[in-house]
Amino acid sequence: MELLIKALEKENRFLRQENSAYKAQGQLFELLLEMAGAAAEQKMLKVSMLKTLEVTVHLSGAKMGSLFLLSPEGVVTESLLTRGEVSPGLRSQLVGSVLDKGLAGWVRVHQKVGVITDTQKDTRWLSLPEEPYMVRSAVAVPIMKRNRLFGIVTLMHPLPDHFSREAIEIVQVAAGHMALAVESAQLYLKLDELKRIRQNAMEKDLKLARAVQESFLPTRVPGIDGYSFAARNRPALEVGGDFYQFFRLTGGRLGVAIGDVSGKGIAASLFMARFTSDLGYYASQYTDPGKLFSKINRQLCYRAKQGMFVTLVYMLLDIPSGQVCFANAGHISPVYVDKNGVRILGNYQAKGPPLGVFPEAAYGQDTFVLKEDGMVLMCTDGITEAKNSDRSLYGFNRLKKVIKAYSSDPVLLVQQIVASVDMFSKDQGQSDDVTLVCFKKEASGPRFP
């Protein structure tokens, strides 16, 4: 009977230990889940470690606990107490130093559990100078994973020989969870740092791409007697696909182009830079906008990557006469403004598809005469397709009202259109590139020497 009682007591003790261990694991696992949803970086790690330490103290019956986190070289990177952070003076002594004394130093060197049943009889115990409590028994456990020492957790009690085997096992369970938490947090921090590095590199690339893009846009509008010009380009991102350009050609002619490359960002910017360079080259060779488009279209279809294409309006202005010949490749139609009002330029039959889509596409052209006080406005769909908080489009009717109100001055008109669109979409923000080109034939007419 006595043997049976001893066996039952042993079994009961084992079950209590198992129950405590599972209880510890459950509470610690809940803390890990909380940590996963907490704020990132060092604050996440510090808060989760302190909570884990407090739970361990409670489950083991300790009165207080401390935790040191260590670098791979064994240098203290963080020190915590269950009653809060250590004092600033003590913290300055500990953080940045190597643990080589006391029970924690012994555990760091031997990388195994250290138990002190009575601090007054064990030389491994080192009382801290600002320690506000009595300690007679202590247990220190290394926080380890795959032979990597992440830190040391120490539990203390004011009475000697306090910690049972069950309590030590609870500390070991906690140390295992702490190792997992520290490793996960450090990996998270490394990933976060890599993300920041990539983000910084991307921002530098975007600034460089923006500088490249701006180098392909005009630095100023043409200064031609008898005409006034205005233009504005504002990408939705650091760089964009919208562009405009002026080409001074022989025979008193001026090429005026506005377009939109599919997509946004660096790819669209670089594609735009190459396209505007080609457009300038072929504009000097082709006096017929329709034939110019056919030539460029075949080239784009031949080398276009990832389905990129361009919408474009190109106007060839004869400066002395005001005669304009233009072609439209899938772009929003330009408008003409004079004393008779606002009208859309071009007919549907002459308008062709975007460049770079169909190799054999045909492009027609239209002509009109820019009369005195007549004005042309060209823009991209970032104007008419701007949206407000109700997802309504800015549309042509709103644009038309602004044009009528400010048709006397191209510069003022461009400013007011941008302001009107910004006001309309202020709650939604700019979602697409915005580009406008406007030119007007003044009443005095062109003057030539």
Using H for helix, E for strand and C for coil, what is the string for 111-169?
CCCEEECCHHHCCCCCCCCCCCCCCCEEEEEEEEECCEEEEEEEEEECCCCCCCHHHHH
| Domain boundary residue, one of 150, 185, 220 | 185
Together in a domain, 283 and 403: yes
Query: 151, 185, 219 — which closes off a domain?
Result: 185
- The pLDDT value given to residue 436: 96
198 inside domain: no
* Rounded distance between C-alpha atoms, residue 370 and residue 304, angstroms: 35
Contact of 382 with 430, CB cutoff 8 Å: yes
Give pLDDT tens digits for 254-263: 999 999 888 6
Cβ proximity of 256 and 378 under 8 Å: yes
Which structure tokens are listed for 24?
A: 């510890």
Low-confidence winner among 6-10, 32-36, 408-412 (lowest mean pLDDT):
32-36
% of the chain beyond a pLDDT of 90 = 37
Q: Let me know if residue 449 belongs to a domain.
A: no
Beta bridge partners of 368: 324
- Say whether both 276 and 177 belong to one domain: no
Domain assignment present for 199: no
Cα–Cα distance measured from residue 30 to residue 50, given in angstroms and rounded to the nearest whole number: 14
Assign 286 a pLDDT band (cuts: 50, 70, 90).
very high
The two tokens of residue 234 are: 């504002």
Instruction: Count CB atoms within 10 A of the CB of residue 355.
Output: 28
Q: Inform me whether the pLDDT recorded for 25 exceeds 60.
A: no
**Number of domains into which the chain is organized:** 2
Let me know if residue 194 belongs to a domain.
Answer: no
pLDDT at 215: 72
Helix (H, G, I), strand (E, B) or coil at 212: helix
Task: Report DSSP state, residue 372.
Answer: T
272 and 327 housed in the same domain: yes
Q: Give dist(CA 182, CA 145) in Å, integer.
A: 10
Q: Which of 353, 311, 359 is nearest to 332 (CA)?
A: 311
Residue 274: Cβ within 10 Å count: 13
191 falls within a domain:
no
Residue 254's CATH number: 3.60.40.10
The H or E element containing residue 251 is: none
Structure token pair of residue 190: 């490394």
- Residues in contact with 39: Cβ distance below 8 Å, sequence separation at least 6, in sequence order: none
Question: Could you tell me the pLDDT band of residue 38, with boundaries at 50, 70 and 90?
Answer: very low
Rounded Cα distance between 279 and 300, Å, is 11
Q: Is residue 72 part of a domain?
A: yes
For residues 304 and 386, state if they share a domain: yes
pLDDT at 23: 53
Residue 9's contacts (CB-CB under 8 Å, 6 or more residues apart) are none
Q: Which residues contact 256 (CB under 8 A, 6 or more apart)?
A: 244, 245, 246, 247, 314, 315, 316, 317, 378, 437, 439
Domain that holds residue 124: 2-185
Model pLDDT, residue 201: 75
* Same domain flag for 82 and 231: no
Name the CA dihedral angle for 424, 427, 428, 431, rounded to a multiple of 10 degrees: 70
144: tokens are 């380890």
Q: Could you tell me if residue 25 is inside a domain? A: yes
Same domain, 122 and 255: no
For residues 271 and 368, membership in a common domain is answered with yes
Asked if 91 contacts 109 with a C-beta cutoff of 8 angstroms, the reply is no
What does the pLDDT read at residue 101? 81
Specify the DSSP element, H or E, that contains 324: strand 323-329
C-alpha to C-alpha distance for 17 and 6, rounded to whole angstroms: 16
Residue 98's pLDDT is: 64
So what's the pLDDT on residue 5?
56
Condensed to tens digits (0 to 9), the pLDDT of residues 160-199 reads 999 988 888 888 887 887 787 777 777 777 777 778 888 7
pLDDT at residue 304 above 90? no
Least confident of 118-122, 240-244, 417-421: 240-244
Best CA proximity match to 231, nearest among 435, 12, 42: 435
Specify which residues 231 forms β-bridges with. 437
Window from 59-73, 154-168, 337-351 with minimum mean pLDDT: 59-73
Q: For the chain, what is the mean pLDDT?
A: 81
Domain co-membership, 425 together with 280: yes
Q: Do 154 and 254 fall into the same domain?
A: no
Tell me, yes or no, whether 47 and 108 share the same domain: yes
Cβ neighbors of 132 (< 8 A, separation 6 or more) are none
- Cβ count near 328 (within 10 Å): 28
Percent of the chain with pLDDT over 70: 79
| Top mean-pLDDT range of 128-132, 412-416, 422-426 | 412-416
- Same domain for 104 and 251: no
Order across the sheet with 434-441: list the strands: 227-234, 434-441, 375-379, 335-338, 341-344
pLDDT of 236? 75
Query: At residue 324, does pLDDT exceed 70?
Result: yes
Among 68-82, 206-220, 310-324, the least confident range: 206-220
- 316 or 177, higher pLDDT: 316
- Do residue 80 and residue 140 come from a single domain? yes
CB 380 within 8 A of CB 388: no
Note the pLDDT of residue 332: 93
pLDDT at 239: 61
Whether the pLDDT of residue 27 is over 80: the answer is no
Q: What CATH number is attached to the domain comprising 110?
A: 3.30.450.40
The answer to whether position 192 is within a domain reads no
Q: What is the mean pLDDT of residues 232-249?
A: 83
Average pLDDT over residues 354-375: 93
pLDDT category of residue 306 using cuts at 50, 70 and 90: low
Task: Please state the φ and ψ torsions of residue 256, each to the nearest 5 degrees.
Answer: -125, 120
Say if CB 345 and CB 333 are below 8 A apart.
Answer: yes
Q: What digits encode the pLDDT tens for the residues 365-423? A: 999 999 999 999 999 998 998 988 888 999 999 999 999 999 889 999 999 999 999 99
Rounded Cα distance, 166 and 349, in Å: 89
Asked whether the predicted pLDDT for residue 350 surpasses 90, the reply is no
